């Protein structure tokens, strides 16, 4: 506090100048996710030139955009785009996350336009950019659809989603509760750090042909040919099988004796595989793994869990994998 007899005491708003490193440490203690701290950071950026850089760095370090079924969002998206489009602001963004938490009736022109605007920002940003698409539903509504049918969505909306996914700046993707989402949309991209899906509403894959004779006729096999497949970044993780219909089987359960690792059609680009994780739930899975995962792709790591024995056939494949590194 200034002394009342100080020659500077009569100058309103005058304070001793803080070293920039001290000012940066003080602002660094503020949490932009907390309403009061966010208000303080906004006030500092508007009123103090010395604090402008540090306060905006904290405010725009993490940007989360949630487009949900509640209310209009077009104006909010346009305001955000006008701010983040500035090269000075864009340099502060380290985490940019887009979440589509929508119902099928929401996937119209407005959200398609908003998503296209957000997708256009990704190439201008650096570091981690995340995109999540999931079906929004209220548990209190029993008859409400709990999954988005990709094929029935508006073509403009599907194009906007695919445009975001195709962005080379995208490094994290999550698809949740979406039926018939085309696997080749994201397997053709090699830049992702991670890809996450939620069970039981995962990704719809069709069997090309069973690897075990007679499996298609087995009563324990999903006769619809729909299996669950989980893909990770530069990795391919297969965890398949359950009885019942897809995807609205409320009594979802995995039966270890009914699971069959199967081959996949090859419009899918597997040349970017660098890590594979296969869950074995039946006898002979080690042999089938060699058909599912082509080891000549120079995999960087391989992980297996489950109960299948023996491992000798897999080891033959691992030798090929090791020699290809």
Domain spans, the chain = 31-189, 196-204+227-308
Q: Report d(CA 105, CA 315) in Å as an integer.
A: 50
Q: Rounded to 5 degrees, what are φ and ψ at 140?
A: -75, -20
Q: Report d(CA 139, CA 22) in Å as an integer.
A: 50
Instruction: Name the pTM for this structure.
Output: 0.51
Q: Report d(CA 183, CA 165) in Å as an integer.
A: 12
The string of DSSP codes covering 160-211 is HHHHHHT-TT--EEEEESEET--THHHHT----SEEEE-SSS--EEE-S--S
Instruction: Count Cα atoms within 13 angstroms, Cβ side, for 46.
Output: 6
Residues 61 and 32: beta-carbon distance below 8 Å: yes
Beta bridge partners of residue 199, listed in sequence order: none
Q: What is the DSSP letter of 311?
A: -
Per-residue pLDDT of the chain (325 residues; tens, 9 = 90+): 334 444 444 443 444 577 888 888 888 888 888 888 888 888 888 888 888 888 888 888 888 887 776 555 666 677 777 777 777 788 888 788 888 877 777 777 878 888 888 888 877 777 667 777 777 654 444 445 566 777 788 888 888 888 887 777 776 777 666 766 665 555 454 444 444 444 332 232 222 222 333 333 333 333 333 333 332 222 223 333 333 222 222 222 233 322 333 333 333 344 444 444 444 334 444 444 444 444 343 443 444 444 333 333 333 333 333 333 3
Structure tokens at 270: 């597997």
Q: Report d(CA 112, CA 234) in Å as an integer.
A: 28
Query: What's the Rg (C-alpha) of the chain?
Result: 26
> Distances from the Cα of 212 to the Cαs of 25, 95, 283, 288, 299, in angstroms?
63, 45, 11, 8, 25
Residue 46 makes CB contacts below 8 A (sequence gap 6+) with: none
What is the predicted pLDDT for the residue at 205? 26
Beta bridge partners of residue 64, listed in sequence order: 97
Can you list the pairs that 106-110 forms with residues at least 24 positions away whose Cβ atoms lie under 8 Å? 106/69, 106/136, 107/148, 107/153, 107/154, 107/157, 108/154, 108/157, 109/154, 109/156, 110/72, 110/73, 110/74
What is the predicted pLDDT for the residue at 60? 84
What is the predicted pLDDT for the residue at 185? 59
What is the predicted pLDDT for the residue at 209? 25
Structure tokens at 98: 């887009």
Q: Report d(CA 153, CA 313) in Å as an integer.
A: 44
Q: Rounded to 5 degrees, what are φ and ψ at 304?
A: -130, 140
Helices 20-28 and 49-59, axial angle in degrees (round to 10): 30
Helices 312-323 and 285-292, axial angle in degrees (round to 10): 30
Residues 62 and 91: beta-carbon distance below 8 Å: no
Structure tokens at 92: 């502060």
């Amino acid at each position: 506090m200034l002394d009342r007899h100080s020659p500077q005491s009569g100058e309103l708003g005058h304070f001793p100048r803080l070293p920039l490193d001290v000012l940066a440490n003080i602002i660094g203690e503020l949490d932009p996710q907390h309403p009061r701290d966010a208000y303080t950071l906004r006030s500092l950026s508007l009123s103090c030139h010395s604090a402008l850089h540090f306060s905006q760095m904290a405010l725009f370090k993490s940007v989360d955009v949630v487009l949900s079924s509640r209310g209009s969002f077009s104006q909010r998206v346009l305001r955000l785009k006008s701010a983040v489009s500035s090269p000075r602001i864009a340099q502060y963004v380290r985490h940019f996350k887009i979440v589509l938490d929508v119902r099928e009736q929401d996937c119209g022109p407005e959200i398609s336009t908003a998503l296209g605007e957000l997708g256009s920002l990704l190439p201008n940003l650096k570091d981690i950019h995340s995109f999540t698409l999931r079906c929004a539903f209220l548990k209190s509504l029993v008859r409400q659809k709990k999954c988005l049918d990709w094929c029935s969505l508006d073509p403009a909306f599907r194009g906007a989603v695919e445009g975001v996914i195709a962005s080379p700046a995208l490094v994290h993707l999550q698809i949740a509760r979406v039926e018939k989402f085309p696997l080749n949309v994201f397997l053709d991209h090699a830049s992702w750090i991670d890809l996450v899906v939620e069970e039981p509403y995962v990704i719809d894959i069709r069997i090309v042909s069973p690897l075990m004779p007679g499996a298609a006729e087995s009563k324990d096999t999903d006769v619809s040919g729909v299996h669950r497949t989980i893909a990770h970044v530069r990795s391919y993780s297969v965890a398949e099988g359950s009885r019942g219909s897809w995807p609205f089987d409320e009594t979802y359960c995995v039966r270890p004796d009914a699971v069959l690792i199967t081959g996949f059609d090859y419009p899918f680009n597997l040349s970017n595989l660098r890590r594979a994780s296969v869950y074995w739930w039946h006898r002979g899975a080690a042999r089938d793994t060699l058909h599912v995962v082509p080891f000549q792709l120079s995999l960087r790591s391989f992980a297996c869990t489950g109960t299948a024995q023996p491992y000798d056939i897999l080891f033959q494949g691992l030798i090929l994998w090791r020699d290809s590194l």
